[in-house]
Structure 1
Amino acid sequence: MSPDTPPQDIAVRLTDVRLDRGTRTVLSGIDLTVPRGSITAVLGPSGSGKSTLLAALTGELVPAAGQVEVLGQAVPQRQRALLELRKGIGVLLQGNGLLTDLTVAENVALPLRTHTKLPRPVIDRLVAMKLHAVGLRTAGDLYPRELSGGMARRVALARALALDPPLMVYDEPLTGLDPIASGVIMSLISRLNDSLGLTSIIVTHHVHETLPVADRAIVIANGRIVFSGTPAELEATTDPLVLQFLRGEPDGPIAFDTAERSRETA
């Protein structure tokens, strides 16, 4: 992205960011710009720090150095301001996070009931629209236990979209899904990004499923960004470190240290 890009065209900007977990530095020297309207894939092996980066975007983790800007403002530390910013960020968790004692419709309605004062008929209408957007309009009366893995992921997506956030962050959206369900989810992410004018960040280690829908890709390894460019540029890379990740090779410049990775769930 050009350094002359107007600020209003940037959804997320990280400048020389260092992220620590306790006394351990997970990521350092992170510079990242995400254009509005784009889909950016954040790729890397398990334990590389992808979820730590996500925590910085949502304000869960305060950077040890550098600055994180989301939707035109530095991520605030004051709780009230942070909660207000988070209304503009939809997060799809890899575990879905659906409440098992609520129906599908009640799960999707939860953010609307919590953060708005809209009357019940309006909320019901909005819930129907969100479920329709993910292809599940007739599933409102079902409970999470009655859903397949792919259906549950789509319900979680509908709930994440409930407040019409301009920024969507997907944390390992394909975890536990079969190839068909994975294809449905990725197609849905792409379609919703275009039709709703969203900006999307997909945090994942599923390279081949994600690159076809992405505009930009970054690869995180060894505590830093080791690649940033287009999917085509990534697929053409000759960097040994990046190739090791893309090919899933156990030996190479990316160390496999089970004890170290157990401390980081990214």
Structure 2
Amino acid sequence: MTSPDSPVVHLSNARLDRGGRTILRDIDLSVPRGSITAVLGPSGSGKSTLLAALTGELPLAAGTVEVFGKPVPRGTRHLLEMRKGIGVLLQGNGLLTDLSVGENVALPLRTHTKLPAVLVERIVNFKLNAVGLLAAADAYPRELSGGMARRVALARALALDPPLMIYDEPLTGLDPIASGVIMSLIQRLNDTLGLTSVIVTHHVHETLPIADQAVVIANGGIVFSGTPAELEATTDPLVLQFLRGQPDGPIAFDATPRTEAA
């Protein structure tokens, strides 16, 4: 078993390549148990590439990545076993339109467990109640608002009680009220269920209030790592450009050639 004090996620000197080009290099990151870590950065900076490394979708080109105190496995069977402990909330929700809300949430339970139908139904009701949508169990995704669909996807991601949650741009396409609901839910569920959460996003002002740790990715690497208060007090012109949404600065708007992989 891993120590309660050991990080749930740890990357050391990691390099991530795609298509023969280096996207991120020299990545050192630790995600403490029970924390909420915000991984921030402009579009195209490599945030989703980092997420792919945490789930084992993209093997490292160099360095190490550990989840739950163990290296992310390469073999399919061991990788699938590790992923049962990781809940992922996708940008597009990924709900199956021909299944009801309740059936969508039940899908991971029916796929990965042999629980009796009565128990599956109880767990589904519990998860939907946790996100405030128990009354919508018989509805279909097409009948839901964007915020409601995101909450259903969150309930499904929590179905197997994963200790680690990864949120990939959880506020995409949501209005300010729905965004506030989702952020509040993430914080409450993290606290009440004892989760560890990584939020990959470019929504700075909505995310920092609930984060314990903030990481900013830009120009092929981590340009800031610290507390939200330290981030807001930064004088680094590169980080300030991102925080203030300035078009001109160290972060180029035009696409630049990626570094060739070593």
Contact 1:92 1:160 in 2 (8 A): yes
Cα RMSD (Å): 1.1
Please give the per-residue CA displacement for 1:198-247, whole angstroms capped at 9, x wherever unaligned. Answer: 00000000000000000000000000000000000000000000000000
Q: Does 1:100 align with 2:97?
A: yes
Matching residue's letter, 2:70? Q
Q: Distance in 1 between matches of 2:143 and 2:33?
A: 36
Query: Corresponding residue for 1:14?
Result: 11
1:74-89 aligned at under 5 Å gives the runs 74-89=71-86
Instruction: Give the unaligned 5+ runs of structure 2.
Output: none
TM-superposed CA distance for 1:44, in Å, is 0.1
Query: Which of the residues 170, 174, 178 maps onto 1:173?
Result: 170
Q: Quick check: 1:191 aligned with 2:188?
A: yes
Aligned length: 256
Task: Work out the CA distance in 2 between the residues paired with 1:259 and 1:119.
Answer: 54
Matched, 1:208 2:169: no
**Cross-structure match for 1:218:** 215
- Show the 5 A alignment for 1:1-266: 8-258=5-255
**Does the Cα contact within 8 Å between 1:7 and 1:72 map onto a contact in 2?**
no
Q: Determine helix, strand or coil for the equivalent of 2:8.
A: strand
8 Å Cα contact 1:8/1:72 also seen in 2 = no
Percent sequence identity is 80
**C-alpha distance in 1 between matches for 2:4 and 2:63:** 18
- TM-score, normalised to structure 1, is 0.95
**C-alpha contact 2:102 2:138 (8 A) present in aligned 1:** yes
- Aligned partners of 2:257, 2:81: CA distance in 1, in Å? 35
Whether the aligned pair in 1 keeps the contact of 2:6 and 2:69 (CA below 8 Å) is: no
Deviations 1:5-26 (A, max 9, x none): x675310000000000011100
Q: Following the alignment from structure 2 to structure 1, what is the Cα–Cα distance between the partners of residues 138 and 254?
A: 46
- Cα displacement (A) at 1:93: 0.1
User: Contact 2:101 / 2:152 at 8 angstroms: preserved in 1?
Assistant: yes
Give TM-score, length-normalised by structure 2. 0.96
Which portions of structure 1, spanning 4 or more consecutive aligned residues, are displaced by more than 2 angstroms?
6-9, 258-261
- Counterparts of 1:259 and 1:226, CA distance in 2: 18
- Check the 8 A contact 1:16/1:30 in 2, yes or no: yes
Deviations 1:94-138 (A, max 9, x none): 100000000000000000000000000000000000000000011
Unaligned runs of 5+ in 1: 1-5, 262-266
Separation (CA, whole Å) in 2 of partners of 1:29 and 1:163 = 33
